[in-house]
């Protein structure tokens, strides 16, 4: 089969959408399919590979290093007239994504979209809650322009179905347990953090931005620190809120963006993953923390609702219960024996989530689109 994947973010950009899309692309290639990748040109790109179409992009406000694709309907239509995909997957709702759906509709090519980001929740996090309804309607119009909308959890599937999204299909996520592994714990790295074997490293991995609910993570850590003065808070990632966070908290350790084995090493060297975000569509970092053997405190939705079990892998806190989140961070972070027991079970929680299975399911969905126009996609992917 010949597939096209359209995305406005892709490695070396580091975010959950970029890495998820790359994993889906690689999974299809490993299954023997021809895959064309369509994305904005990034700084440092040379000549495009034969299987990649680079289009014009522009910088994303407040997110240095990230871009969105500019409209490209005519370019895509010409490209796909010459080399027609059997089906396309559109991962992002920006101008490039809209162009891809428009070109596919004009050519009669079946399309699936991926619902990766809760932009409606972002409106609240950036001080404009009155725009949540507008954002949701905009996303519904976009995704209903395709034959299927792929989501990572049953919870999100049910929510979108209730909001009028058509043909919402669950495509589970996975984690590379060979890369993310407790054996990557690094004593030398912890020494750089000025931590011994028995000291406590609370760790955050992700975008350092307003939508991640960072003030709550800071408050929770300060309560832990009262009980364990040896604790340190390690931040892995970057973003628009980093500079102010660093100024306000000079004792925090900022490691910047980490990739590949270095990221796995940082994860495994932590003792408690503190993830206060309440705007995640899924939260791949939750799976990566668990695969690394790191107990996790997160709110009870997305990956946490699917996988995380209270007092077994960490704590999944009812959304809105900030006091419960703070208490869980302080309680688990200060209890060495409890964390040790949890480390043994965290990895077991994700041991069956295989990337090869996700690739097979994704392939099945796209083949159903190509063969049936989407009429049997939901049943086939259940």
Cα distances (angstroms) measured from residue 361 to each of 296, 303, 356, 365: 28, 18, 9, 6
b/e code 150-182 from CB counts within 10 Å (16+ = b)? bbbbebbbebbeeeebebbbbbbbbbebeebbb
**Number of CB atoms found within 10 A of residue 45's CB:** 11
Peptide bond into 12 cis (omega under 30): yes
Q: What mean pLDDT do residues 298-302 have? A: 92
Distance in angstroms (rounded) separating the CA atoms of residues 198 and 245: 27
pLDDT, residue 378, reads 47
Q: What mean pLDDT do residues 271-288 have? A: 91
More confident residue, 303 or 33: 33
Q: Report strand pairing: 201-205 vs 232-236.
A: parallel
pLDDT, tens only, 38-93: 999 887 776 667 799 999 888 766 665 667 788 999 999 999 999 999 999 999 99
Distance in angstroms (rounded) separating the CA atoms of residues 105 and 7: 17
Q: pLDDT tier at 301 (50, 70, 90 boundaries)?
A: confident
Q: Provide the whole-model pTM.
A: 0.85
What number of residues does the chain have?
Answer: 382
Listed range (46-55, 123-132, 349-358) with the worst mean pLDDT = 123-132
Q: What are the structural domain ranges in the chain?
A: 2-174+354-381, 182-350
pLDDT at 149 over 90: yes
Q: What is the mean pLDDT of the chain?
A: 91
pLDDT at 18 over 70: yes
Q: pLDDT tier at 381 (50, 70, 90 boundaries)?
A: very low
Distance in angstroms (rounded) separating the CA atoms of residues 174 and 72: 32
Q: Do domains 2-174+354-381 and 182-350 have the same CATH topology?
A: yes
Residue bearing tokens 């049953």? 154
Q: What mean pLDDT do residues 148-165 have? A: 94
Cα distances (angstroms) measured from residue 88 to each of 96, 102, 320: 13, 12, 38
pLDDT, residue 165, reads 95
pLDDT, tens only, 193-207: 999 999 999 999 999
For the chain, percent of residues with pLDDT exceeding 70: 91
Q: Are 95 and 68 in contact (CB under 8 A)?
A: yes
Query: What is the torsional sign of CA 91, 170, 24, 146?
Result: negative
Q: Nearest Cα to 233, choosing from 290, 195, 185, 283?
A: 195
The CATH code that applies to domain 182-350 is: 3.40.50.2000
Q: Is 194 exposed, middle or buried (0-12, 13-18, 19+ CB in 10 A)?
A: exposed
More confident residue, 135 or 179: 179
pLDDT at 375 over 60: no
pLDDT, tens only, 232-277: 999 999 999 999 999 999 999 999 999 999 999 999 999 999 999 9
pLDDT, residue 211, reads 86
2-174+354-381 homologous superfamily: Glycogen Phosphorylase B; (3.40.50.2000)
pLDDT, residue 204, reads 98
Q: Nearest Cα to 209, choosing from 184, 237, 230?
A: 237
């Amino acid at each position: 089969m010949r597939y096209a994947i359209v995305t406005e973010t892709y490695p070396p950009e580091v975010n959950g959408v970029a890495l998820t899309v790359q994993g889906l692309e690689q999974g299809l290639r490993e299954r023997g399919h021809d895959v064309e990748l369509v994305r904005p040109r990034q700084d440092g790109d040379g000549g495009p590979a034969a299987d990649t179409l680079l289009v014009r992009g522009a910088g994303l406000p407040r997110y240095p290093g990230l871009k969105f694709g500019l409209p490209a309907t005519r370019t895509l239509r010409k490209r796909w007239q010459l080399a027609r995909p059997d089906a396309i997957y559109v991962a992002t709702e920006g101008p490039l994504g809209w162009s891809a759906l428009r070109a596919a509709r004009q050519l009669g090519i079946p399309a699936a979209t991926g619902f990766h980001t809760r932009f409606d929740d972002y409106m609240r996090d950036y001080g404009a809650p009155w725009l949540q309804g507008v954002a949701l309607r905009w996303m519904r119009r976009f995704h209903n322009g395709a034959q299927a909308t792929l989501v990572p959890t049953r919870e999100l599937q049910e929510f979108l179905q209730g909001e009028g999204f058509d043909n919402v299909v669950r495509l589970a996520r996975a984690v590379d347990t060979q890369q993310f592994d407790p054996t990557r714990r690094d004593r030398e790295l912890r020494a750089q953090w000025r931590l011994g074997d028995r000291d406590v490293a609370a760790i955050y991995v992700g975008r350092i931005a307003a939508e991640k609910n960072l003030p709550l993570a800071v408050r929770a850590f300060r309560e832990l620190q009262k009980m364990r003065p040896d604790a340190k808070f390690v931040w892995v990632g970057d973003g628009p809120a980093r500079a102010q966070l660093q100024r306000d908290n000079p004792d925090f350790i900022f490691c910047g963006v980490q990739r590949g084995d270095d990221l796995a090493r940082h994860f495994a060297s932590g003792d408690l993953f503190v993830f206060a975000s309440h705007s995640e569509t899924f939260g791949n970092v939750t799976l990566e923390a668990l695969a690394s053997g790191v107990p996790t405190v997160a709110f009870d939705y997305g990956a946490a609702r699917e996988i995380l079990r209270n007092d077994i892998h960490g704590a999944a806190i009812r959304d809105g219960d900030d006091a419960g989140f703070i208490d869980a961070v302080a309680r688990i972070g200060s209890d060495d024996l409890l964390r040790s027991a949890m480390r043994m079970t965290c990895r077991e929680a994700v041991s069956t989530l295989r990337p090869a299975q996700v690739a097979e399911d994704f392939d099945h969905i796209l083949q159903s689109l190509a063969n049936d126009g989407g009429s049997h996609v939901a049943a086939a992917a259940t």
